[in-house]
């Protein structure tokens, strides 16, 4: 398909207009930071859950998961299962704690427990990590749509970027959440269309497609060998556990969702729904990849010479086997996956920029001034990430390598900081900073000395484990070094005990006894 068919174009145009209408619908209600950043804490639990689901499913998931399953198996799902264990902890402790410990920014907690310097570090880690991801998400959408339609990549980036920034700028978090809800359903609809064609087009139908994939271990979870240099079950389990611990305890995009619900119970229900929706959706994206593999084996259809990477197979299938109109729905679901992630990131970056930096630098600001700055942050961050995506179209490989290296170094160990803050009454600011510095040094070493194209080759002293373990080890370095180093500064105050798990448990017990 060398040009965008008019039915597909119509579907995408209707989708884009719909997103703008939602932004305009909520624009008049954004008169305070309370409404713009936390939607007046009035979002129903089901909408909160669907919003979280749509935010976690990005264009990276849309392309990388099918590509991974096509080339290998369902190993990526192992890390996803870890969200269930983390959800139990978050639902019983973390959600009610954060809802009463912070106002709008998750990183406010680190100042209350330690100092502003720790708050600034964790905030910067969030800003750098999410901002760098945003450009890549838009770039990947443009790359995929270009392969499907031949449409100019710069045009795709500009249209999706402008629409996303407009509805996020106008409608605040309310618009973000309700567009997320719409985008979540569009995403699922596009996924169902893909699966239907992959199941019924090949000879023998669903039975033959499933059987071939199963017999060739395309639906397995990978190796159970206890080898930390390979991306097996154990490595992905550890990675997933610490990844979701960080997401649910120290990531503004998740913590902000805790704050928008009407009550603790509503927040818990919403979080549970979001996690429960994600796991089957991840499995379905992996199933798409496995069925793509079965399809080309069963039909004997040869892939063209320009399809050289597994990530390209699913988009190629869409362009050659999904009819006009329905292909547009799948492309709209790709846009939805990207835009839901970006809009959430933009609003969260705005919260962090205003609450953690602007309000600290310029004290005694009015709510109207903070609201103005919040909208300005959305506009500027959206414009910059669009520019980054445009730059990636000309130098993607080198730029992406640099982005991932920098963000993995700067954002390392944030869950470790939270663990010390929440679980240790002994940890203090100097000790935590020792842990952070040790974590940064370790992460820099491991990132620079790992992979095929090492930026620093130390021979036998190179980092040997799989690179997804770097962040996991960085958290552990913060915890161990930070805790032990705190004993070297006995005169330093350990912070507010009420901000630890033990203080929270005492307050809950006292409140229960008072009743």
Write the DSSP string, 163-226. HHHHHHHHHHHHHHHHHHHHHHHHHHHHHHHHHHHHHHSSTTHHHHHHHHHHHTTTT-------
In this structure, the chain runs to a length of 515
Distance between CA 202 and CA 291 in Å, rounded? 10
Measured over the CA atoms of residue 419, residue 422, residue 426 and residue 431, the dihedral's sign is positive
pLDDT of residue 52: 87
pLDDT of residue 408: 53
How many CB atoms lie under 10 A from the CB of residue 261? 26
Task: Kindly give the confidence (pLDDT) of every residue in the chain, 515 residues in length, as a single tens digit, with 9 standing for 90 and above.
Answer: 444 577 888 899 999 999 999 999 999 899 999 999 998 888 999 999 999 888 888 777 888 889 889 988 898 888 888 888 888 777 788 888 898 888 889 999 999 999 999 999 999 888 887 887 888 888 888 888 887 777 888 999 999 999 999 999 999 999 999 999 999 899 899 999 999 999 999 999 899 999 999 999 898 888 888 888 787 889 889 888 888 888 888 889 888 988 888 888 898 899 889 888 888 999 999 999 999 999 999 999 988 888 888 888 998 898 889 888 888 899 899 899 889 889 999 999 999 999 999 999 988 889 999 999 999 999 999 999 999 888 887 764 444 444 445 555 555 688 999 999 999 989 999 999 999 999 989 988 888 888 777 777 888 888 888 888 888 899 999 999 999 999 999 877 766 778 888 888 888 887 777 76
Measured over the CA atoms of residue 388, residue 48, residue 171 and residue 120, the dihedral's sign is negative
pLDDT of residue 80: 85
Domain 6-26+43-411 homologous superfamily, CATH? Sodium/glucose cotransporter (1.20.1730.10)
Q: Collapsing DSSP states into helix, strand and coil, what is residue 43?
A: strand
The answer to whether 30 touches 172, Cβ cutoff 8 Å, is yes
The answer to whether 60 touches 134, Cβ cutoff 8 Å, is no
H and E: helices and strands count for the chain: 21, 0
95: Cβ–Cβ under 8 A, 6 or more apart, which residues? 258, 264, 267, 268, 271
pLDDT of residue 309: 84
139: Cβ–Cβ under 8 A, 6 or more apart, which residues? 157, 388, 389, 392, 393, 396
pLDDT of residue 87: 83
Dump the DSSP string for 446-506: HHHT-SSS-SS--GGGS--S-TTHHHHHHHHHHHHHHHHHHTT-TTS----GGGSHHHHHH
Q: Which residue has the tokens 């079950």?
A: 233
How many CB atoms lie under 10 A from the CB of residue 13? 14
Query: What residue spans define the domains of the chain?
Result: 6-26+43-411, 412-515
What is the rounded radius of gyration, in angstroms, for the C-alpha atoms of the chain?
23
445: Cβ–Cβ under 8 A, 6 or more apart, which residues? 463
pLDDT of residue 20: 94
Q: Could you give the count of Cα atoms lying within 13 Å of 57 in the half-sphere of its Cβ?
A: 36
pLDDT of residue 395: 61
Q: Which residues pair with 345 in a beta bridge?
A: none
Distance between CA 69 and CA 162 in Å, rounded? 33
């Amino acid at each position: 398909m060398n040009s965008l068919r008019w039915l597909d174009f119509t579907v995408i145009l209707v989708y884009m207009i719909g997103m703008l209408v939602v932004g305009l619908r909520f624009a008049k209600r954004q008169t305070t930071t309370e409404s713009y950043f936390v939607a007046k804490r009035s979002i129903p639990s089901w909408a909160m859950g669907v919003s979280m689901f749509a935010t976690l499913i990005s264009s990276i998931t849309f392309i990388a998961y099918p590509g991974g399953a096509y080339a290998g198996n369902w190993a990526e799902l192992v890390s996803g299962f870890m969200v269930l264990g983390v959800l139990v902890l978050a639902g019983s402790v973390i959600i009610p704690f954060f809802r009463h410990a912070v106002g709008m920014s998750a990183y406010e907690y680190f100042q209350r427990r330690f100092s502003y310097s720790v708050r600034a570090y964790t905030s910067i880690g969030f800003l750098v990590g999410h901002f760098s991801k945003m450009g890549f998400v838009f770039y990947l959408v443009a790359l995929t749509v270009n392969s499907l339609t031949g449409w100019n990549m710069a045009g795709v980036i500009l249209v999706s970027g402008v629409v996303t920034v407009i509805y996020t700028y106008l409608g605040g978090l309310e618009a973000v959440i309700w567009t997320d809800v719409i985008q979540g359903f569009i995403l699922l609809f596009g996924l169902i269309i893909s699966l239907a064609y992959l199941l019924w087009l090949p000879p023998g139908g669903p039975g033959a497609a499933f059987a071939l994939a199963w017999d060739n271990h395309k639906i397995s979870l990978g190796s159970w060998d206890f080898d930390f240099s390979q991306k097996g079950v154990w490595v992905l389990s550890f990675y997933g556990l610490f990844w979701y611990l960080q997401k649910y305890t120290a990531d503004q995009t998740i913590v902000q969702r805790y704050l928008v619900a009407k009550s603790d119970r509503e927040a818990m229900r919403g979080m549970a729904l979001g996690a429960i929706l994600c796991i089957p959706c991840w499995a379905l994206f992996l199933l798409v990849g496995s069925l793509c593999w079965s399809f080309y084996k069963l039909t004997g259809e040869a892939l063209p010479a320009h399809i050289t990477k597994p990530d390209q197979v699913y988009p190629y299938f869409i362009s050659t086997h999904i009819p006009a109109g329905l292909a547009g729905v799948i492309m709209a679901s790709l846009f939805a996956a990207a835009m839901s992630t970006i809009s959430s990131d933009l609003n969260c970056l705005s919260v962090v920029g205003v609450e953690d930096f602007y309000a600290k630098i310029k004290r005694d600001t009015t709510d109207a001034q903070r609201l103005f700055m919040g909208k300005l942050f959305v506009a500027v961050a959206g414009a910059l990430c669009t520019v980054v995506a445009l730059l990636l179209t000309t130098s993607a490989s080198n730029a992406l390598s640099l982005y991932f290296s920098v963000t993995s170094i700067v954002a390392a160990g944030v869950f470790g900081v939270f663990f010390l803050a929440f679980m240790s009454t002994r940890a203090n600011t100097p000790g935590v900073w020792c842990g952070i510095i040790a974590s940064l040094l370790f992460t820099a070493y491991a990132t620079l000395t790992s992979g095929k194209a090492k930026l620093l080759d130390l021979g036998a002293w190179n980092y040997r484990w799989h690179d997804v373990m770097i962040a996991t080890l960085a958290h552990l370095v913060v915890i161990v070094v930070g805790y032990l180093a705190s004993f070297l500064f006995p005169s330093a105050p350990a912070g507010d005990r009420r901000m630890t798990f033990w203080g929270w448990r005492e307050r809950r017990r006292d409140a229960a006894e008072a009743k």
